[in-house]
């Protein structure tokens, strides 16, 4: 019986490793998707159709706070993974909830920014620059939204089940996704916002 259990665990951890590698492959294809959107934005950023350019619509301090919220949420995501490994359930719940709040604040700020632009008459249909801007930043925001939904599912799972190997495996996949989105945001912060403000 004991032998069987060991074999089962080994089989599990092997399949976990395969899934994790597969998830890494998915992240890399997502990277290529973002690269296409970045290339589009870089080509079209000057085509403002006499509308606003990046310098007119970007608010440096606002974007800095967005970036800080996402950076801190990446850190709390790391803490959550660590407490899952160590089976510290209360710390895990706290850090997951903190990550959710930070991520939701980030998304809220981004949507507020979008709303302000659309209300001012500078929506995605105004110029090629704005189309590429909304597509690039919006795609990242959509990923953040999916990450938040996934996070809610994880929190529900933590609250209703024991912390198991299968849960830490799920947590690892989600934290890879979340850190990846942080890396993409660093590129958006630098290429779209900071270079737009020069």
Partner 1 sequence: MNTNSTQKRLSAYVLGFVLSLALTACAFALVVMHLLEPDYLVAAILGLALLQIFVQINFFFHFGEGRDGKERLVVLCFAGLIVVIIAGGSLWIMRNLNERMMPDATGMSQYMVEQEGI
Interface with partner 1 (CB under 8 A): 17, 20-21, 24-25, 28-29, 31-32, 35-36, 38-40, 42-43, 60, 64, 67-68, 71-72, 74-75, 78-79, 82, 85-86, 176, 179, 182-183, 186-187, 189-191, 194-195, 197-198
Smallest separation, CB 71 to partner 1 (Å): 6
- Radius of gyration over every alpha carbon of the chain, rounded to an integer in angstroms: 20
Q: How far is CA 124 from CA 20, 104, 132, 168, in A?
A: 36, 23, 8, 40
- What is the closest distance, in whole angstroms, from the C-beta atom of residue 45 to partner 1 in the complex? 11
For the bound state, the minimum distance from the C-beta of residue 31 to partner 1, rounded and expressed in Å, comes to 5
Q: Which is nearer to partner 1, 60 or 120 (CB)?
A: 60
Query: Is residue 152 within 8 Å of 162, Cβ to Cβ?
Result: no
| Nearer to partner 1 (CB atom), residue 87 or residue 120 | 87
Nearest approach, Cβ of residue 113 and partner 1 (Å): 17
Of residues 107 and 184, the one with the C-beta less far from partner 1: 184
Work out whether the CA dihedral 114, 120, 126, 129 comes out positive or negative: negative
In three-state secondary structure terms, 44 is helix
77 vs 107, beta carbon nearer partner 1:
77
CB 154 to partner 1: min, Å: 18
Rounded Cα–Cα distance for residues 59 and 143 (Å): 23
Minimum CB–partner distance for residue 46 and partner 1 (Å): 9
127: phi then psi, degrees, rounded to nearest 5: -145, 165
Smaller CB separation from partner 1, 8 or 87 = 87
Tokens of 139: 């795609």
C-beta closer to partner 1: residue 21 or 121: 21
Range 20-24 contact pairs with CB under 8 angstroms and sequence separation of 24 or more: 20/169, 20/172, 20/173, 20/176, 23/173, 23/176, 23/177, 24/176
Of the candidates 78, 89, 100, 85, the residue with the CA atom closest to the CA atom of residue 145: 100
């Amino acid at each position: 019986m004991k032998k069987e259990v060991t074999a089962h665990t080994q089989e599990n951890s092997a399949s976990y490793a395969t899934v994790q590698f597969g998830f890494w492959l998915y992240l890399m294809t997502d990277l290529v998707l973002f690269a296409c959107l970045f290339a589009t934005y870089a080509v079209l950023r000057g085509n403002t159709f006499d509308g606003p350019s990046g310098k007119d619509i970007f608010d440096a301090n606002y974007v800095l706070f967005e970036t800080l919220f996402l950076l801190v949420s990446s850190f709390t995501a790391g803490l959550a993974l660590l407490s899952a490994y160590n089976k510290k359930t209360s710390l895990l719940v706290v850090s997951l909830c903190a990550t959710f709040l930070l991520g939701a604040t980030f998304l809220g700020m981004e949507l507020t920014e979008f709303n302000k632009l659309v209300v001012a008459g500078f929506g995605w249909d105004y110029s090629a620059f704005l189309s590429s801007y909304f597509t690039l930043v919006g795609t990242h925001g959509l990923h953040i939204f999916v990450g938040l939904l996934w996070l809610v599912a994880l929190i529900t799972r933590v609250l209703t089940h024991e912390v198991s190997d299968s849960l830490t495996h799920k947590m690892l996949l989600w934290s890879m996704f979340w850190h990846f989105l942080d890396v993409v945001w660093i590129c958006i912060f630098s290429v779209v916002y900071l270079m737009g403000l020069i």
